[in-house]
Amino acid sequence: MTELRTFAVLVEDVPGVLNRVASLFRRRNFNIVSLNVGRTHERGISRMTVVVEADARTARLVEANLYKLVNVLAVEDISERATVTRDLALIRVSAGAEERAAILQICEVFRARVVDVAPSSLVVEITGAQDKIEGLAKLLEPFGITEMVQTGAIALTRGADTGATALHRLATEDAAADRAA
């Protein structure tokens, strides 16, 4: 059964690594819904959050193929785990003085913030899961959304477990043991 699956991927922060990951998904015909990449607290390590349409079998192949990339350090399929998952969106809405109050009210319900105001428009910032962002966008639509940008999901597993980062640490220790042996 095809569903959305989320992967946390730690990669070496080297030129071309995003291209390698994107090229792999294209070549193997894996369907990316969103892909986010950014730095981590560890120097030289970037973290990607990739959301893919996949069944369980494809998900396993996604993971195995990611590991084949030399610059990939750790991969975790966090689809079945409890996670904190967030998307960030910025939405520019047409709004004269008379519509602002109504928009602000909607924003309050969604815990969105107005981060820029111009005479005839304003920019709303919202973080949350995809359905929350879509919900806000739907309500703002009647006012006229003129521009919108979204980051794609980022995710961490809940609890003390450090997820992909722990996997990477274990793998590094294993590799050191292999070399010593």
Partner 1 sequence: MMTAEITGARALWEALVAEGVDVVFGYPGGAIMPTYDALPGYPIRHVLCRHEQNAAHMADGYARASGRVGVAIATSGPGATNLVTGIATAMLDSSPIVCITGQVPSTLIGSDAFQETDITGVTLPITKHNYLVTRAEDVAPILREAFYVARSGRPGPVVVDITKDAQLGLCRPDHGAPVRLPGYRPRRRVEAAELDEAARLIDAAERPLVFCGHGVVKAEATALLRELVDKGDLPVACTLLGLGGFPASDPRHLGMMGMHGEAWVNEAVQRADLLVALGMRFDDRVTGNLASYARGAKKIHVELDPAEVGKNVACDVAIVGDVKDALRGLVPRIAWRRREGWRAEIAALREDAEAHDVQRLPDDGRLLAAHVMADLHRLTGGEALVVTDVGQHQMWEAQYYRHEAPRSLITSGGLGTMGFALPAAIGARFARPGDEIWVIAGDGGFQMSAAELSTCMQEGVQVNVAIINNGYLGMVRQWQDLFYEKRYVATPIVSPDFVKLAEAHGLSARRVTRRDEIEDAVGFARMQRRTCVIEFQVAQEDTVYPMVPAGNDLADMIRRPRMKGVS
Give which of 45, 143, 133, 18 is closest to 86, Cα–Cα: 133
- Per the CB < 8 A criterion, the answer to whether 53 and 87 are in contact is no
- Per the CB < 8 A criterion, the answer to whether 10 and 165 are in contact is yes
> Can you read off the two tokens belonging to residue 29?
């015909």
55 binds partner 1 (CB under 8 A): no
Q: Closest approach of Cβ 23 to partner 1, in Å?
A: 5
Question: Taken in order 166, 169, 171, 174, is the CA torsion positive or negative?
Answer: negative
Q: Closest approach of Cβ 73 to partner 1, in Å?
A: 4
151 binds partner 1 (CB under 8 A): no
For partner 1, give the closer residue by CB, 32 or 106: 32
Q: Closest approach of Cβ 39 to partner 1, in Å?
A: 16
- Stretches 64-72, 77-85, 94-102, 147-155: which one binds partner 1 (CB under 8 A)? 64-72
Write the DSSP string, 152-174: --EEEESSS--HHHHHHHHHHHH
Give contact residues for partner 1 (rule: CB under 8 A): 11-12, 15-16, 19-20, 23-24, 27, 57, 60-61, 64-65, 67-74, 171-172, 174-175, 178
